[in-house]
Amino acid sequence: MRSPLVVVEDGVIVAVDENGVPPAGMPVVDLGDRTLLPGLVDAHVHLVLPGVPDPVAAAAAPEATLLMNALRAAASCLDVGITTVRDLGDRDYVTLRLREEIALRPHAGPHLLVSGPPITTARGHCWFLGGALESPAGLTEAVRVRATRGVDLIKIMASGGEITPGSRSWQAQYTAAELRSVVVESHRLGLPVAAHAHAVDAMERALAAGVDTVEHGTFRTPTGVEPDRRLIERVAEARLPVSVTTGFSPAGPPLDESARVRIERTLAAAVDMRDAGVRIVCASDAGISDQKQHGLLPHGVIRLVEAGFSSAEALRAATSTAAEACGLVRKGRVAPGFDADLLAVTGDPLRDITAILAVAAVYRGGRRVRCFGSKNTPEFRF
């Protein structure tokens, strides 16, 4: 039985032939016994943060160091088959410079969408990235500043978070009206809004405000993770994507017991959301700690399967669904009209999801940017 043939012209897939018979004279790259997937889409990354225990100190590094961190992180993403990244929080707009650099050198990293510094309250979550506002009166102006700088989207911290001293993930930071003012101005300027929201109250307010994605969506309360069935149903009805960021780096330190229990409950809530029809995105939140090193997205996909997602559902959460949530109409599928961003792995991830870790080759826009394997790896030709 022949393998399917993917025909690429000018970086775009123009045909997928199940018979695998190339037209006469067409150059062919034979991947051998490999499974071809869409390149992965990581919808939540912090490239300037290098995945160390103290992100606050790391964010205070000189700008040149932040840019170098981001370049290394981008390369790590591409190494594991992540061909598109949405960066949801940098400092000093470093990722805009990185976006320009990678546009000139696609082999250096994934296609980038960037938000610049996240909007947050004074001493609020991730204030150390430079996006803190002294007053909600400055919210719309903050959106305009970012739009002028050329960001791809707006990121706002609707709740507190885990890595900021003094912040509480179960507490909302903005009212629904304040969030709505950000959404209205962002949409007026053609920019989507991603809302960091752990707290149940923050998730409620983000939904009411009309944000485009909810990040984390962990249903945090002062007493733990407490999914709200009615809220889940409303999120499903609104077709609001929720980015689940429960994967962790295998090379990082182990989770303590309280964190392990919280993550298990959060994964169970993700299954509940899936069952209710919520659009689940698998993202990483890479960079924020030594448990969240760059390139961990495939491990997040595996965690979803372990929690009860089918392999196909988990893979879609990190490819087509993630691309749609990010507003990318030409990413996340192996189909005509889509960018030829491709991941070749050894084995069949539909049968064994851990095959997603066995990367053989990575392509961006039809060009091979990574190739791994032994002397038995087939030759790749263009």
Residue 326 and residue 84 in contact, taking contact as beta carbons nearer than 8 Å: yes
Residue 323 and residue 279 in contact, taking contact as beta carbons nearer than 8 Å: no
- What is the DSSP secondary structure assignment for residue 210, as one 8-state letter? T
As a whole number of angstroms, the distance between CA 157 and CA 179 comes to: 10
DSSP class per residue in 307-346: HT--HHHHHHHTTHHHHHHTT-TTSS--STTSB--EEEES
As a whole number of angstroms, the distance between CA 171 and CA 182 comes to: 19
Sequence ranges of the domains in the chain:
5-38+333-358, 40-325
Question: What is the rounded end-to-end Cα distance, in angstroms, of the chain?
Answer: 24
Parallel, antiparallel, or unpaired: how do β-strands 342-345 and 35-38 relate? antiparallel
**Residue 79: HSE in the Cβ half-sphere, 13 Å Cα cutoff:** 9
Reported pTM: 0.95
Q: How far is CA 174 from CA 91, 192, 195, 317, in A?
A: 21, 18, 11, 28
CATH ID of 5-38+333-358, from 2.30.40.10, 3.40.640.10, 3.40.50.720, 3.40.50.300? 2.30.40.10
User: Which residues, 6+ apart, have CB-to-CB distance to 84 below 8 Å?
Assistant: 39, 40, 41, 42, 110, 111, 112, 113, 322, 323, 326, 328, 331, 332, 341
Residue 214 and residue 202 in contact, taking contact as beta carbons nearer than 8 Å: no
Residue 199 and residue 159 in contact, taking contact as beta carbons nearer than 8 Å: yes
Each of the 382 residues of the chain gets a pLDDT tens digit; together they read 456 899 999 999 999 988 777 777 788 888 989 999 999 999 999 999 999 999 999 999 999 999 999 999 999 999 999 999 999 999 999 999 999 999 999 999 999 999 999 999 999 999 999 999 999 999 999 999 999 999 999 999 999 999 999 999 999 999 999 999 999 999 999 999 999 999 999 999 999 999 999 999 999 999 999 999 999 999 999 999 999 999 999 989 999 999 999 999 999 999 999 999 999 999 999 999 999 999 999 999 999 999 999 999 999 999 999 999 999 999 999 999 999 999 999 999 999 999 999 999 999 999 999 998 643 333 332 2
- Token representation of residue 13: 């897939």
Cite the DSSP H helix spans in the chain: 55-59, 63-79, 94-104, 139-149, 176-188, 200-209, 229-237, 257-276, 297-307, 311-317, 320-325
Nearest CA to 111 out of 98, 120, 121 is that of: 98
If DSSP codes are grouped into helix, strand and coil, which group holds residue 102?
helix
CATH superfamily of 40-325: Metal-dependent hydrolases (3.20.20.140)
